[in-house]
Amino acid sequence: MADSIGVGILGFGSYLPATVRGNDFWPKDFRPDGERERQKNLLAIERSTEGKENQVVPEIAAAMAQLGDDPFRGARLRHVIGEEEDPSDMEAEACRRAMRAAGVRPDEIDLVMVSSLVQDRLYPTNGPAIQAKCELTNATAWSLELGCASFQPQLIAAAALIRTGVYRRVLLVESSAASRTIDYQSAISLQFGDGAAAVVVGEVPAGRGLIGQFTRTDGSLRAGLVNAPIVDGQPARRWDRAAGLIRLSSFAPELGKRAGLRSTEFCREACLGALASAGLAVSDVKLFLANQSVGWLVDACRRSIGVPAEKTYETFREVANIGAAAIPYNLGRAHREGRLEEGDVVLMYSPGAGFTRGAIVYRWIAPSGVIM
């Protein structure tokens, strides 16, 4: 992208619920690493749903080996949304903090784009709730939802709208309230936490901000991971007719595992494609961020494209999988901890249910602030 108008992040905000759930939440006799549990766990790719041992590529195997025999697969803490909180409450607070950090008033926001792993209601989406709760009097509210891969397409869309003069200030917010759709008797429950992250996006100097991107969707994998009502132990295809608890599940568990086995292949495709669009190489990357859906993914992804471990940043041990919020949350934290300097190249990658993979290349310019 050689656009004359730079578009980047003006301020970061995030919100993590007060309740923290450690590994002692699960009973001592809970066996998340048992063979049967790994067969049933969509995120445990070492075994097929039939119990056969899967062939895992070397970079994934090496990343898994770093976790040793830890039955919790690297997870330590998870924040959990309060019983009386709505997901939009988390999102709205993250948005308020992002606006304060950017020094932008609510009436200066033209558009808010939201991705909610679990919405307040089935319909409408959380955009209108955020517009009202944050008093964004001049803003329209949209949803742009690609699961854990939502942040990258949101930033791409915001940049296009700002460059063409349609909007000046865009608020992006991602959240996960996965605890509300998790069966806590299943091994998959160990991986998920709740939280929200937001950024204010606007014009920055030319050559800074978003400079490269790549996204692709393979809809043939869409049934691998779904939220659906559970009836008689199985996800119901007609959610409008089913009376059951909504749970994270799958219509085709083997498809979900197959996507996991190809995770580093998808990462290489997206990251190298994004770098090529920016005219850069892996050696130019100063910081690499990837969606931390499981404890081994960030490490496996950075190995697959040749990024050194010291150039990565993740918080899986502290917050687990917080969906699409992980990328903006970790980018804000990395900045606050002094990991980035003016002009540094940041590469950000996420896979998302559906199945979409997306990567962006970002030339760093320090934002006004970060309120975590």
Residues 138 and 140: their CA atoms lie apart, in Å, by 7
- Among the residue ranges 37-46, 107-116, 243-252, the one predicted with the least confidence is 37-46
Burial class from Cβ neighbours inside 10 Å (0-12, 13-18, 19+) for residue 70 reads middle
Residue with tokens 């190489």: 281
Whether 285 shows a pLDDT value over 50: the answer reads yes
User: Considering only CA atoms, which of 371, 370, 345, 372 is closest in space to residue 360?
Assistant: 345
Give me the pLDDT at residue 28, please: 86
- Assign a CATH topology to domain 6-19+79-218+259-365: Peroxisomal Thiolase; Chain A, domain 1 (3.40.47)
pLDDT tens sequence across 339-355:
999 999 999 999 998 89
Give me the pLDDT at residue 35, please: 66
Residues 286 and 340: their CA atoms lie apart, in Å, by 8
User: Can you give the residue ranges of every domain in the chain?
Assistant: 6-19+79-218+259-365
Under 8 Å CB-to-CB from 27, ≥6 apart: which residues?
A: none
The separation between CA 122 and the C-alpha centre of its own chain, rounded to angstroms, equals 21
The confidence band for 48, taking pLDDT boundaries of 50, 70 and 90, is confident
Whether 52 shows a pLDDT value over 80: the answer reads yes
Give me the pLDDT at residue 4, please: 79
Whether 42 shows a pLDDT value over 80: the answer reads no
Under 8 Å CB-to-CB from 75, ≥6 apart: which residues?
A: 23, 190, 191, 295, 316, 317, 320
What is the dihedral sign for C-alpha 356, 302, 253, 120? negative
The confidence band for 2, taking pLDDT boundaries of 50, 70 and 90, is very low
pLDDT tens sequence across 74-120:
999 999 999 999 999 999 999 999 999 999 999 999 999 999 999 99
pLDDT tens sequence across 160-201:
999 999 999 999 999 999 999 998 988 889 999 999 999 999
Residues 302 and 296: their CA atoms lie apart, in Å, by 10
Whether 289 shows a pLDDT value over 90: the answer reads yes
